[in-house]
């Protein structure tokens, strides 16, 4: 069974770029406009990884991560941001994010980080 990659991002172009980069990967991709929609619809048995921008609007990234942890969902969170946000990224990894993917990133780097995240969750 294919692992699921959840994209939580309000920007359709960014979601499409990620979906296109994963087109040949053996994964199932779901996308959501915001964290509240994702949390309303994600199954209690969800696993895989979540790709989310650092500047997630709405309830925000930390609240999303808190809720994923509270529900004990085996989801690796990969945060996407800019290199100028590196100090924040370090704090988020300490808080439980799996990794920080710096913009601009290549499709190859995206796939590599997702594979490592899925491997970590599957162990």
User: Over the stretch 59-69, which tens digit does the pLDDT of each residue have?
Assistant: 999 999 999 99
Q: What is the CATH number of domain 3-49+63-77+98-122?
A: 3.40.50.2300
Q: Specify the pLDDT at position 100.
A: 86
CA distance 24 to 27: 8
pTM for this prediction? 0.86
Which parts of the chain sit beneath pLDDT 50? none
CA distance 102 to 123: 25
CA distance 42 to 45: 8
Q: Rounded to the nearest 5°, which phi and psi values hold at 108?
A: -60, -45
Q: Specify the pLDDT at position 24.
A: 93
Q: Specify the pLDDT at position 95.
A: 85
Structure tokens at 37: 């929609």
Strand-pair partners of 75: 48
């Amino acid at each position: 069974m294919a692992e699921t990659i959840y994209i939580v991002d309000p920007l359709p172009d960014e979601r499409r770029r990620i979906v296109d980069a994963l087109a040949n990967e053996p994964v199932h991709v779901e996308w959501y406009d915001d964290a509240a929609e994702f949390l309303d619809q994600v199954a209690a048995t969800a696993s895989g990884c979540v790709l989310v921008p650092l500047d997630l609007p709405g309830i925000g990234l930390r609240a999303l991560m808190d809720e994923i942890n509270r529900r004990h969902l085996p989801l690796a969170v990969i945060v996407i941001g800019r290199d100028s946000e590196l100090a924040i990224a370090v704090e988020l990894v300490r808080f439980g994010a799996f990794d920080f993917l710096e913009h601009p990133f290549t499709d190859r780097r995206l796939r590599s980080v997702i594979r490592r995240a899925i491997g970590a969750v599957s162990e």
